[in-house]
A and B are shown apart, each in its own frame.
Chain A
């Protein structure tokens, strides 16, 4: 079963606007990761946040993690047309050394 659930399923914005995507999960985690997938391509790792961290930044990306609510958000600031992609959260639980469980994803469209 899918651990993460992204919200919204699809998001359409104008270039220069900010985009926020949310992810909820059900069980305790070691870390939560965000990936981007451009159409027809593989997934690209964006950022990893550990369970003892609350916020992390990388360039125009900001990720927050609230373990009490079992949720995370990904904020992309000053979006560009090149940010158009599907974004997936993925959780790694303590019970498995290898398994990432992916959410259903958010399809982000940035209009020029």
Chain B
């Protein structure tokens, strides 16, 4: 079992739907991340939150909207996605508020866009 919990594990949605991915950690980490991973590729960084503030947006399309309601929770709101957005979405967290140490990953949400 991982210490970063992501829900749901699988999500199928149409291009007009609105859905949210959720991520939770209780390790006291103050940096949290969203990654997108396509099959047989490395993770690609999307967003970084530090102390609940958005620190990095890697030029992600606005149809992805992150939210960090508190230090333990990270959401990714999805709207009007495209088929190419189908991927594994990984959440991670790290200690000290900066990525000096290792990141802890959840098992991801596998997203399919119809």
Q: Are A104 and B99 in contact (CB-based, < 8 A)?
A: no
| Residue in A closest to B31 when the chains form the complex, CB atoms | A98
The segment from A11-19, A39-47, A70-78 found at the interface with B is: A39-47
Q: Are B100 and A88 in contact (CB-based, < 8 A)?
A: no
Count of inter-chain pairs, beta carbons less than 8 A? 62
Q: Are A42 and B48 in contact (CB-based, < 8 A)?
A: no
Least distance between A74 CB and chain B CB atoms (Å): 15
Residues of A within 8 A of B33 (CB): 98
CA distance A104 to B41 in the complex (A): 6
Residues of B within 8 A of A40 (CB): 107, 110
Residues of B within 8 A of A92 (CB): 99-100
Binary interface encoding of chain B residues 26-55 relative to chain A, with 1 for a CB under 8 A from any of its CBs, else 0 = 000001010000001111010010100001
With A98-B48, A102-B43 given, is the CB distance from A42 to B102 under 8 Å?
Answer: no
Q: Are A100 and B2 in contact (CB-based, < 8 A)?
A: no
With A42-B90, A98-B50 given, is the CB distance from A48 to B41 under 8 Å?
Answer: no
Q: Is A33 an interface residue (CB 8 A)?
A: yes
Residues of B within 8 A of A33 (CB): 102
Residues of B within 8 A of A30 (CB): 100
Residues of B within 8 A of A2 (CB): 42
Residues of B within 8 A of A41 (CB): 107-108
Q: Which of A31, A42, A103 contacts B108 (CB 8 A)?
A: A42
| Residue in A closest to B9 when the chains form the complex, CB atoms | A40
Q: Are B98 and A98 in contact (CB-based, < 8 A)?
A: yes
Q: Is A68 an interface residue (CB 8 A)?
A: no
Residues of B within 8 A of A104 (CB): 41-42
Identify 11 residue pairs between A and B in the complex whose beta-carbon atoms are under 8 Å apart, listed by A's number.
A40-B107, A40-B110, A41-B107, A43-B92, A43-B105, A44-B105, A45-B103, A98-B56, A99-B56, A102-B42, A104-B41
List 10 tightest A-B contacts by C-beta distance, closest first.
Answer: A42-B105, A45-B102, A102-B42, A97-B98, A43-B105, A42-B107, A98-B48, A98-B99, A41-B107, A42-B106
